[in-house]
Amino acid sequence: MAKQSIVPFGPQHPVLPEPIHLDLVLEDEKVIEAIPSIGFVHRGLESLVDKKDFNEMTYVIERTCGICSFMHGMGYCESVEKIMNVEIPDRGKYLRTMWAEMSRVHSHLLWLGLLADAFGFESLFYQCWRMREKVLDLFEMTTGGRCIFSVNKIGGVLKDVDDVMLATIKATTQDIAAELRVIRKTFMEDYTVEARLRGVGILTKEQAHNLGTAGPFARASGIKMDMRTTGYAAYGDLDFDIITSNECDSYGRCEVRINEIFQAIDLIGQCIDKMPKGDIATIVKGNPNGEAFVRMEQPRGEAVYYSKANGSKFLERMRIRTPTFANIPGLLETLKGADFADVPLLILTIDPCISCTER
Amino acid sequence: MGNVKRSPWLLHYDGSSCNGCDIEVLACLTPVYDAERFGIINTGDPMQADIFLITGGINKANQAVVKQLYDQMPRPKVVVAVGVCACTGGVFKECYNIIGGADTTIPVDIYVPGCAARPQAIIDGIVKAIDLWQAKADKMENVQKELNKLDKLEEKEKK
């Protein structure tokens, strides 16, 4: 038996934009075990329910994560709306769905760029981020922010989007789809990219199910699970299929995410075509009393929002379960037996969002 | 920016930010905003870095990490706090695990406000940091020159 050594990985590491620490037990160049330790980004924002009232909390919850901030705000608002039995107007629902899908496009493009950077393909990284800037410009046009939008409120959305903007969004997203078709070729067919991705980090369907993985990470292992099919917001009216892959490796995860960008662009188009006229928000009076669960599909997988209220303006408890936390056991399984050089790449394939995980 | 003698390198560390400022820092380095035109390059190694970009507030777990990264950087060094969380603690100031802004742990030279800080603001902060870094380098050089003069005087006196 070869000698074992422990190599610390992180919290500060060139490939990681965010801090996570792993102790990698190595035997020669092979990883035997990975021991994670998290907590570098823990803020304790869920406890702020004691200090901020339930309307203000929307803006705090949005800042759980800067990448999927819109969906966090949306999940929180839906949970409070569920407690208060508020039905938001159709236009509000469609706008929420549209922004949520735009978040998915920008999040997946960001991930593709980081993946390209992790396997050393610098120009591909820049191409992905150049395309992502177009989505951010759309966000800036419609909401005023690039990362944190703060357009959700309990009872609907704060800003309306006029027809000219909707047409621009449709045209720009179609441009992105056309450009992505070119880049897709590099990700899916390039010899060097395939050599880094294919057969690396295998997680079988059974393992993925037993370890409770979520989102594209689970779907790349052939599990048909997508919370959007439950039909929250306007998803019930839209037509889409669950994208899965049976590759079970990094290549499959890349494939699922690329296809999801096309799907999201299609959904944005459907939203704009069906966009109803009318109000964007209803007036909400009183304080919530009761508790509610909301499940929704974030770019990284299923997120659960739980709110408990007691009739005062402060919530009693607010809890978020985020997809990255569910995916960490799966990640540790894929790391076993991997090459040391593949570790940064494998960590990226779950699309880690540490600030979501630790809150 | 006229008298910069060497290209400073940049180290980015995410304190306890929400990711918003981090992706904006990365967006700054990509071709659309292209902060690399000022000669900087993003490095992962604190021992080669001159400018420290820190996003997010300080919490109990990362305080030691931030301190260590700062100590590992060679002098002269400039610290830029990006985003309102790094400046003061921001929206998370009242959270039980947040100690405060970056200046509770390390000396901060430049504050870039915003939630999330916009790329234009971050680039402005970086440009100011480069100037400050050069000024610090010049000062160190002048001090060294004076010290050398003193050494020579002492040698003469001994003779």
What gap in Å lies between CA A177 and CA A173, rounded to an integer?
Answer: 6
Q: Are B55 and B21 in contact (CB under 8 A)?
A: yes
Smallest Cβ distance to B22: which of A17, A125, A146?
Answer: A17
pLDDT digits (tens, 9 = 90+) for B39-53: 888 888 888 888 998
Query: Per residue in B67-77, pLDDT tens?
Result: 888 998 888 88
Percent of chain A with pLDDT over 70: 99
Task: List CB contacts (< 8 A) between B64 and chain A.
Answer: none
Within 8 A of A42 by CB-CB distance, chain B residues are 16, 59, 61, 97
Q: Please name each of the domains of chain B with its CATH number.
A: 9-158 (3.40.50.12280)
Nearest to A40 among B18, B20, B62 (CB): B62
Cα distance between residue A133 and residue A106, in whole Å: 8
Does position A23 have pLDDT exceeding 80, yes or no?
yes
Instruction: Flag whether pLDDT at B1 surpasses 80.
Output: no
Bond from prior residue into A281 cis (ω within 30 degrees of 0): no
Q: Mind listing the pLDDT tens digit for each residue in A279-289?
A: 888 888 888 88
Under the banding of pLDDT at 50, 70 and 90, the label for residue A145 is confident
Nearest chain B residue to A52 by CA distance is B94
Residues in chain B within 8 Å Cβ distance of A19? 13-14, 62, 65
CA distance, residue B117 to nearest chain A CA (Å): 9
Q: Residue B3 pLDDT > 80, yes or no?
A: no
DSSP string covering A211-263, please? TT--HHHHHTTT----GGGG-TTTGGGS-------S--SHHHHHHHHHHHHHH
Q: Which residue of B has its CA nearest to A11?
A: B65
**A43, A136, A298, best to mutate vs chain B, most B CBs in 10 Å:** A43
How far is residue A7's CA from residue A21's CA, in Å, rounded to a whole number?
Answer: 11
Contacts of B63 in chain A (CB under 8 A): none
Residue at A32 is within a domain: no
> Does residue A116 sit within a domain?
yes
Report the CATH number at residue A269.
1.10.645.10
User: Could you tell me if residue A34 is inside a domain?
Assistant: no
Structural domain count of chain A: 1
How far does CA A60 lie from the centroid of its chain? 18
Q: Using a CB-CB distance cutoff of 8 angstroms, which residues of chain A are in contact with residue B19?
A: 17-18, 65-67, 147, 353, 355
| Eight-class DSSP state of B118 | P
Looking at chain A, which residue has its C-alpha nearest residue B43? A14
User: Which residues in A lie closer than 8 A to residue B30 (C-beta atoms)?
Assistant: 125-126, 129-130, 133
Q: How many residues does chain A have?
A: 359
Residue whose pair of structure tokens reads 């390198």 in the numeric block? B9
Cβ atoms A286, A260 nearer than 8 A: no
Q: pLDDT tens-digit profile of A24-75?
A: 888 888 888 888 887 788 888 888 888 888 888 888 888 888 888 888 888 8
Per-residue pLDDT for B93 more than 80?
yes
Chain B residues near residue A147 by CB distance under 8 angstroms: 19-21, 23-24, 116
Residue A88 in any domain: the answer is yes
A chain contacts of residue B18, beta-carbon cutoff 8 Å: 63-66, 69, 148, 355
Q: Which ranges of B2-118 would DSSP assign to H, the alpha helix?
A: 20-29, 63-72, 84-87
- For residue A41, the model assigns a pLDDT of 83
Please name the residues between 25 and 84 in chain B that touch chain A, using a CB distance below 8 Å.
26-27, 30-32, 43-46, 56-57, 59, 61-62, 65, 69
ipTM of predicted assembly, 2 dp: 0.81
Give a yes or no: residue A9 inside a domain.
no
pLDDT at B2 over 70: no
pLDDT digits (tens, 9 = 90+) for A179-229: 999 988 888 888 888 888 888 888 888 888 888 888 888 888 888 888 888
Highest mean pLDDT among A117-121, A233-237, A298-302: A298-302
For chain B, what is the radius of gyration of the CA atoms? Answer: 18
Q: What is the percent of chain B with per-residue pLDDT over 70, rounded to a whole number?
A: 99
Task: Find, among A233, A66, A275, the residue nearest to B19 by Cα.
Answer: A66
Q: Which residue has tokens 């760029």?
A: A113
Closest chain A C-alpha to B73 CA, distance in angstroms: 14
How many pairs of residues across A and B have Cβ atoms under 8 Å apart? Answer: 121
Cα–Cα distance for residue pair A306/A321, rounded to 1 Å: 9
Task: Say which of A13, A43, A148 has its CB closest to residue B115.
Answer: A148
Mean pLDDT along residues A150-176: 88
CB-based contact, B97 to chain A, within 8 Å = yes
CB contact under 8 A, A40 and B22: no
Q: Average pLDDT, whole number, for chain A?
A: 86
In a domain, A29, yes or no: no
Distance of CA A25 to the CA centre of its chain: 30
Helix (H, G, I), strand (E, B) or coil at A350: coil
CA distance A117 to B116: 23
Residue A168, pLDDT above cutoff 70: yes
Q: In terms of residue numbers, what domain contains A307?
A: 51-358
Contacts of B96 in chain A (CB under 8 A): 44, 47
Q: Which residue of A has its CA nearest to B96?
A: A44
From chain B, pick out residues whose CB is under 8 angstroms from the CB of A43: 16, 57, 59, 92, 95, 97-98
pLDDT given for residue A1 in this prediction: 61
Which of A66, A133, A145 is nearest residue B32 as measured by Cβ atoms? A133
Tell if the CB–CB gap between B62 and A41 is shorter than 8 Å: yes
Does the residue A317 lie in any domain? yes
Q: What is the pLDDT of residue B85?
A: 87
Q: What is the pLDDT of residue B64?
A: 87
Residue A69 lies in a domain: yes
Instruction: Name which residue leads in pLDDT, A14 or B14.
Output: B14
List CB contacts (< 8 A) between B61 and chain A: 39-40, 42
Contact A353 B19 (CB under 8 A): yes
Say how far residue B77 (Cα) sits from the centre of its chain. 6
> Would you place residue B79 in the very low, low, confident or very high pLDDT band (cuts 50, 70, 90)?
very high
User: Do B43 and A14 make contact, defined as CB atoms within 8 angstroms?
Assistant: yes
